[in-house]
Structures are given as C-alpha cells and as structure tokens.
Structure 1
Amino acid sequence: MPLTILALMAQAAETTQTLAYHPPLWIYPVLTAVAMITGFVDSVAGGGGLIMMPVLFTLGLPPHITLGTNKLQSMCGTAMATFRYYRAGLFTLSGNLALLGVTFAGALAGTLTIQHFDGRVLALVVPVLLIGVSLYTVLSPRMDDTDRHDRVGQRGFLPVASAIGFYDGFFGPGTGQFFTTGLVALRGLGLTRATGLTKLLNLTSNLAGVILFALGGQILWVLALCMACGSMCGAWMGTHFATRLGARLIRPLLITVSLGLTGRLLWGWFAG
C-alpha cells in the first residue's frame, strides 16, 4: 500500500498539465445546476452519477480526472445528506463504528485494485444485480418504513458492508441501492432508516476514494467545489422530502434509478 500511494503521488506530476485546464466560465454554473439535481436524486435513492458522469465526460478530460472530480462533489452532497438524516434521528454513530471501519477498508482496497483490473466484467454483471434490486423493491413487502426482525446480526452484516465498500471503490454505480437493499433485507431496517444509514456508509466509502484521488492529483478542485455547493443544496432538498414522505418517495425513486443505471451500463457495454 505505501508503494501504491507513492506511485499515485508521483503520477501527480504527470497530471499537472491536465489540472491546468480551465473550463469556460459558463461550465461552472451549468455543472453546479446539474449537481443540484444529482444531489437530490443521490440523497434519496443513490445513483446521482447516472446523471453527472455523462455530463462530465463531455469536457474531454481523462477518465481518472473525471472520476476524481466527481467523487469529491459527490462526497460533499453525501455529507450533507448524512448530516440531515443524522439530525432526523435515523441512525447513530456509536452503534455503527464497526460498519464504518470495514466499509472504509473495503473502499480503500477497491480503489487501489481498480488501477490494475479491467472493470468491463463488472459493467456486465452489475446490471443483473440492479435488476434484482428493482424486482426486490417492487415485490418485497419489506420495502416500506416498518422495522422488522433482522436475518443477520450486526457482525453478520460486516462482510456485506466491506464487500459493497470494495465495490464502491472499485466500480461504483449502484452502491447506494446495494447498501439500502441489504440493510432492509438483511438487517430488517425500514426503508427510510436504511436510506439514512446508507448515506453514512456511502460517505465513508467516498472518503476513501477522495483521499487516493487527491494524493494522485486527480481532482479539478475549483470545479469540484463549485459542483459540491450544488450537490449539497440538492441533498438538503432531497433529505427534506425523504424524511417527510418516507417510502412513498424513496421506493419509486429507488426503482427508477436502479433501472436507469441498468440501462446505462448495458448501453455502455454494448456500445463499447
């Protein structure tokens, strides 16, 4: 791991020219507005990258710069959503420290691994998993705000959280859906409580990615921070409605985003 971090730091010198890129001024308000939309969607159901990533790629930046810039703005929006859900009493920090630890470690390992692996295999497997999430959300009586008996305990869920954290660092799309569905199906949480805890876990995995992207000099900071402001505003609005409407808002949006991500990933695979 120390050697990998040193390699990332050395790579920063190679990206200096890219980071000197200055987008046209109109890009900043446009991407800030887009980030508001993604922050809203992401705070409720996850999958904001479905909207943001195609827009960012139109700038013509290298993929790792695009991913790093998006990861920072996404983390800020997730931080706002996490704070709002915490204030609403949907989760506690003290009761989830072990989950946070394994999620962070998994995401760190995933971010390091993706640098040496072809992610196209996952691009074909993940749509199948997302279709499963959509079917479970539609058909399962558990996908409401009622807390039920868990099927696995806190310790039993640790490997699941670690695996999803690894996936977030490695690939990413659908992480929120996998966390939420796992917390409902395995831990017995009501959908709104599961969404709140999902944001805490997602914030943890995002933090691991941001650290490594920053060490590698792979973030356009000014653009990312402008987008972060929009993302935080969108997340504030999303959590406002989610805490009031609960499963009536979260369930249909979760289905829509899961199917949207499925279509986007399949299109990307077959389009090459």
Structure 2
Amino acid sequence: MDIALHLLVFLFLAAFVAGFVDSIAGGGGMITVPAMLLAGIPPLETLGTNKLQSLFGSGSASLAYGRAGHVNLKEQMPMALISAAGAAVGAVATTFVPGDILRLALPFLLIAVAFYFALKPNVGELDRERRLSVAAFSASIVPLIGFYDGIFGPGTGSFFMLAFISLAGFGILKATAHTKLLNFGSNFGGFLVFVLFGVVHWQLGVAMGIGQFLGAQVGSRFAMKNGARIIKPLLVITCVGLAIRLLMDPTNPLRLWLGW
C-alpha cells in the first residue's frame, strides 16, 4: 500500500520519539504501534513492520552504549542469539497460544515493575551482588523474555532491565546498555517469522527505522549523561503509561469481562 507524505512524516516523527524513549526505558512500541494503526496500516502488517523499524532503534542504542564502553557487544552476542531464538519460537506460537491470557496479566505485571523501581531506593549506578550465574541467566531468563517478545511484546525492555538489575546485579545504566542488544535479538527473531509470513511493509519500516535510529542515538546519549536520575523515573512512567494504554484498549479481556 502507498503511504501519503504527511502520514510518512507523522510516522517518522513517531519513530524518532519511540527510539528516544526506548533507548532509555523501553516501551517504544507503545508509540509506534498505535501510530501505524492510526495511519491505517493493517494490524498484522503493523506488527511485522514494527519489528523491522525496532531493529534500527535497538541496534542504534546498542552501538552507542557499546562505543561508550557500557557493554561489550561481542561478549553479549551469544545471549542476543538466544533471545532471538526465543522470540522466533514465540512468534510462531502466536498461532495457537491464547493471547487473552497475556493481555489480561500484562498491565498488572508492568505496574508491579513500576512499583519495584519507584520504591526500591538502592537501584542506582553501582553494580551489586549477582544472584544468578551468566550461564543460568542465559539459559532461563533470556529465552523466556525473548519468547514473550515474540508472542506479545509490550514491556520487553522493561522486563530485561528488571532481570539484569534484580538477578545479574547490574546498575541501572549498565542494565539499560545490556538490554538493548538482547532487545535487538528478540526483535530480529520475531522479524524473521513475520518476513516468512509476508506481513512487513519494507518502505515504511525503513523510513521509520531511520527515525528510530536517530532517536535512539539522542536518547542513549541523554541516558549516559544523566544516568539513574533520568532512567529510573522514565522507566516508571513508561511502565505505568503502557499499563494504562493496555487497560484502556476496548478489546482488553478485563474490560470486556467487566462490561466497561
């Protein structure tokens, strides 16, 4: 389908903002997915195209954090491949796993994550004691969150950050930096499945991807300059905002059950 110029500009700007937010706290899909639906992109094509443009944002942020020395991209690559594999399995599983269960539980999980970061006073820049070995973390947490990203998606970055901070003992900036490459992996795994199903709008995805790339460059530099004082509140705001958006969705199972 052809995209009118004014809609293309609108979606480019939405992707830039999403890239900025996602590079700091995750949740960029909260901006890009509704924007594409508003522009008239079919739902399944929206999901496939969102994976393509998200690759630019997560890849851009990964490069920025890697160049600054906050993450060793080469050492983290095996973990990113595991994340990609988990997401690919999750994307395939969307054909037979009831999504209503995830849609019902996710807002409350996101609110719990927001409370964790808002009320835990020692979430800062310094690393703490690791609770889970690298091997155990890679074999359990990474594929599980990757699977979730492939099957549903919203809040993936927030869940990776929570895992890195609470189980790997990372400081908040280090957790943010390590999250981006794993998010790139999960985006790539899901993207491959959507390509096989032929539901990716390539021109729009690349155009929005450029916006994502630029936004992520600005956002990652902003995060590295300000550290926990900006990452922590933005993460809380993003989680709460995403939870509210999911609860306000007219098709949310909870709303249908309550008759709202």
**CA drift at 1:49:** 1.0
**CA drift at 1:60:** 2.9
Q: Deviations over 1:97-152 (max 9, x none)?
A: 44223212211110110122221210111112111111110112342111111111
The answer to whether the aligner puts 1:237 opposite 2:218 as a matched pair is yes
On the 8 A contact 1:33/1:230 being kept in 2, the answer is yes
Q: How many residues align?
A: 252
Residue number in structure 1 paired with 2:156: 175
Give the secondary structure class of the aligned counterpart of 2:125.
Answer: coil
Residue number in structure 1 paired with 2:128: 148
**CA drift at 1:216:** 1.7
Unaligned runs of 5+ in 1: 1-20
2:9 alignment partner AA: P
Residue number in structure 2 paired with 1:192: 173
Residue number in structure 1 paired with 2:207: 226
The answer to whether the aligner puts 1:204 opposite 2:152 as a matched pair is no
2:24 alignment partner AA: V
For residue 41 of structure 1, the aligned residue among 16, 21, 30 is 21
On the 8 A contact 1:142/1:185 being kept in 2, the answer is no
On the 8 A contact 1:142/1:190 being kept in 2, the answer is no
Matches within 5 A, 1:242-257: 242-257=223-238
Give the secondary structure class of the aligned counterpart of 2:95.
Answer: helix
1:84 alignment partner AA: A
- Shifted more, 54-63 versus 129-138: the winner is 54-63
Give the secondary structure class of the aligned counterpart of 1:82.
Answer: helix
- Shifted more, 113-122 versus 64-73: the winner is 113-122
1:238 alignment partner AA: G
**CA drift at 1:50:** 0.9
Q: Deviations over 1:71-97 (max 9, x none)?
A: 111111111001001111111134334
Give the secondary structure class of the aligned counterpart of 1:27.
Answer: helix
- Shifted more, 133-142 versus 179-188: the winner is 133-142
On the 8 A contact 2:57/2:213 being kept in 1, the answer is yes
Give the secondary structure class of the aligned counterpart of 1:197.
Answer: helix
Give the secondary structure class of the aligned counterpart of 1:68.
Answer: helix
1:202 alignment partner AA: N
Residue number in structure 2 paired with 1:14: none
Q: Deviations over 1:180-233 (max 9, x none)?
A: 011000000000000000001000000111111122211111111111111111
Q: CA RMSD in A?
A: 1.3
Q: TM-score, normalised by structure 1?
A: 0.89
Residue number in structure 2 paired with 1:92: 72
Unaligned runs of 5+ in 2: none
Give the secondary structure class of the aligned counterpart of 2:5.
Answer: coil
Q: TM-score, normalised by structure 2?
A: 0.93
Residue number in structure 2 paired with 1:25: 5
Structure 2 vs 1, CA of residues 216 and 265 (structure 1 numbering), >3 Å: closer, same or farther?
same
Matches within 5 A, 1:45-64: 45-64=25-44
Give the secondary structure class of the aligned counterpart of 2:121.
Answer: coil
Q: Aligned equivalents of 1:45 and 1:93: distance in 2?
A: 19
Q: Aligned equivalents of 2:167 and 2:236: distance in 1?
A: 19
The answer to whether the aligner puts 1:165 opposite 2:146 as a matched pair is yes
